[in-house]
Structure formats: structure tokens, C-alpha cells
Amino acid sequence: MSRNIRFEKFVPAHASAVAGWTQTVHESSMWSGRAEHPFREETVLSWRQDPDSQAHILSVSGTAAAYGELWLDSGNREAEVARIIVSPAARGQGLGVHLVHHLTALAEEAGYPGIYMRVPPGNSAALRCYTKAGFRPVDEESAASWNRSQPVEYVWLRHEPAHAATLAFTL
């Protein structure tokens, strides 16, 4: 059975569903850096205030199933893929990889050659997903430099299109 998957701009009507996808304080913290559970709809909506941030969802058969953001740094021509989360009912189906592919393609089409991600330490599921989507760790010197001003020592990744897995979906 095949399902219709669509990449769409996030709209406020999606906020309640997205806020409900975290299941624990730990999961909220890994996703957003906030130790907040249940996660608040207002928090998700507040992220839209940054003009350099673009939020998107993947919908499956008309239902929001994954959320992610693209943060654009026009001065450095760099983008960061961020806040990726998949609804609990849709996990394990490759939707996270699918969403990351869409977000990186959007950044590339907009002329951002450097595309990065940061992953909290210990988030092995996220690291597997992003590796399948073509991300690889940055060099140790860059990671150390970028982590100096961060609250945790993130694993920093850079998109390398030659390493992206080919997607074949029959959902």
C-alpha cells in the first residue's frame, strides 16, 4: 500500500501536533535543548519568529508526520538543518531521512553550499538518520571551536551529498 508523502511549509495549525510528539523530558531536551514536557505549542510557534529560520513538515496521507527547520546564515552562505522530529506513530519508516533530504535540497537550491547539523551527545538514532542522509562529522578542530559557546558538546556534522543514501519509498 502506498501513501502520499508531501513536503510542506509549516503552518500554525501544525504546532499542536508537533508539540505532542515528544514523549519524555529527555526526548524534548534532545530535540530542542529544552527540558520541557509536555512540550508547549507556544514554544513551537515561537520558533517562527526568527526570519532566518524556515520550518517544514512531511505529511503522509494528509497528516503531519515529521517536522524540521532550516536555519540560514546568508553572510556565511551556510545553512543548518535543525529540530528534526518524527511523530511516534511514523518512526522507523525512513521519514526522518526523507525530511532531511528535502531540507538539504532546499538549502542547496537557495545557494547554500555549506549545510550543517548539530546533534546532542548520545542521540544515536539521530546520528544514524543523518548519516543515511549524507552527513559526516566535521573535523575535530572545527567541532571544538564551535562547541566553545554551546551548552553541551555537540556532534557537528556537514552534508556531503556523495554519501547520501538513495531513497526508495513505498509507504
pLDDT in tens, 132-145: 999 999 999 999 99
Long-range contacts of 9-15 (CB under 8 A, 24+ apart): 9/54, 9/55, 9/56, 9/57, 10/48, 10/55, 10/56, 10/57, 10/67, 12/45, 12/48, 14/57, 14/64, 14/67, 15/41, 15/44, 15/45
Mean pLDDT of 98-122: 95
pLDDT class for 166, splitting at 50, 70, 90?
low
Condensed to tens digits (0 to 9), the pLDDT of residues 55-106 reads: 999 999 999 999 999 999 999 999 999 999 999 999 999 999 999 999 999 9
- Above 50 in pLDDT, residue 163? yes
- Above 50 in pLDDT, residue 169? no
- DSSP letter, residue 47: G
Q: Which residue has the cell 558538546?
A: 153
- Above 70 in pLDDT, residue 164? no
pTM over 0.95: no
Q: What does the mean pLDDT of the chain come to?
A: 91
pLDDT class for 10, splitting at 50, 70, 90?
very high
- Above 90 in pLDDT, residue 117? yes
Ordered by start, the domain boundaries in the chain are: 5-163
Mean pLDDT of 22-39: 91
- Above 80 in pLDDT, residue 2? no
CATH architecture observed for domain 5-163 = 3-Layer(aba) Sandwich (3.40)
